[in-house]
Amino acid sequence: MLLFTVAAFVVGIALVGFLVLQQVTAPASAQLTSPGVTTPSGLADGRTLGQPDAPVTIQIWSDFQCPACRSLAISVEPGIIQQFVQPGTAKLVYSDAAFQGHNGSDPNWDESVAAAAGARCAADQGLFWPMHDWLYTNWQGENVGSFRQGRLRAIAEAAGLDMTSYDSCMATGDKQAAVRSETSQAIAAGIDHTPTLVINGIAYVGVPAYSDLISIINGAAASPIP
């Protein structure tokens, strides 16, 4: 009986250890959510999506940690892409206004800047828009670790990036500096809320009602900038 008890105890310890090991070694990507709608990448050129000569330019000043930006990306952008970008009426230009990470708990890791830098590294691989989709889908709240270093890397891997290139890109610091520079440009231009849509030079703050946005785009297409 004593031998049986000891054997059972050893088996139990081994089982617990195996389960813990499984939790530790389980791929982080298994804990991510796949985008419900993916952005068509056939018209992508870095952070721009659409025909170069489209009469309407929709510049999106955004932050990957911004809840309203997430709403725009998930609920509004797909319709605009289908109705205006794919037919050639409009093009989207994504720009960084990485504000939210300033209030993070870790002064050495700004989640807004890091996510935007990761997206720029994805752009170098022709995968900005897949990364854009995966980032917004897997946002969990502002400065709560959604884009901590390990999780951000898992998102990049799930989006299809070559991870050796991604790691090298993130390590240089160049992309982070570019994000901060573009954010400074946004502030200098008077943009202090995200999202801000600049449609043929006219700024619209927040997420317009879809019907209003359609009217704005149609109006801009009827009177394009020379």
Residues 60, 153 contacting (CB under 8 angstroms): no
HSE of 182 in the Cβ direction (CA atoms, 13 Å)?
21
What is the domain range of residue 137? Answer: 43-222
56-62 and 48-49 beta bridge pairing = unpaired
SS (H, E, C) 78-116: HHHHHHHHCCCCEEEEEEECCCHHHHCCCCCCCHHHHHH
CATH number at 53 reads: 3.40.30.10
Q: Quote the crossing angle between the two packed helices 163-172 and 149-158, to the nearest 10°.
A: 140
Tell me if 120 is assigned to some domain. yes
Task: Inform me whether the pLDDT recorded for 13 exceeds 70.
Answer: no
Tell me if 20 is assigned to some domain. no
Four-residue CA torsion sign, 20, 21, 24, 30: negative
Tell me if 12 is assigned to some domain. no
Average pLDDT over residues 138-149: 89
Tell me if 163 is assigned to some domain. yes
For residue 104, the model assigns a pLDDT of 53
Average pLDDT over residues 129-150: 92
Tell me if 80 is assigned to some domain. yes
pLDDT band at 23 (very low <50, low <70, confident <90, very high): very low
- Name the domain count of the chain: 1
pLDDT band at 30 (very low <50, low <70, confident <90, very high): low
Tens digit of each residue's pLDDT (9 = 90 or more) over 59-116: 999 999 999 999 999 999 999 999 999 999 999 999 999 987 766 556 677 999 999 9
Tell me if 171 is assigned to some domain. yes
Tell me if 5 is assigned to some domain. no
| Between 28 and 8, the higher pLDDT residue | 28
For residue 145, the model assigns a pLDDT of 84
Tell me if 13 is assigned to some domain. no
